[in-house]
Amino acid sequence: MSNISELLVKAGELMLTGMVFVFLFLSLLVFLVSAMARWLPQEEPQEANVPTSAKRTGAQGGVSPSVVAAISAAVKQHRERNL
């Protein structure tokens, strides 16, 4: 009977040791991430470089009606087949 109790005590010690190790590791990780967030400069969002051809709207840079019709027909056909 003492063999089982010794095994249970050792299992409890091992479990407690593992839980302490995980707790310390996670605490250290949280501390380091918080410290890095304070010390490192915050990133500033960069503006997207949009080509001038993409900025045009209206009649100059619009999509031709034939392309719109082709896309609409393809979407309609896809929806009819898959729904």
Domain membership flag for residue 16: yes
- Residue 20's domain comprises 1-40
**pLDDT by residue (tens digit) across 8-31?**
999 999 999 999 999 999 999 999
Domain membership flag for residue 50: no
Domain membership flag for residue 81: no
Rounded CA separation 59/73 (Å): 22
Domain membership flag for residue 54: no
pTM above 0.85, yes or no: no
Domain membership flag for residue 59: no
Domain membership flag for residue 8: yes
Pair of tokens at residue 5? 């109790």
Domain membership flag for residue 51: no
Indicate the number of domains in the chain: 1
More confident residue, 76 or 45: 76
Angle at 17 between CA 12 and CA 18, to 5 degrees: 100
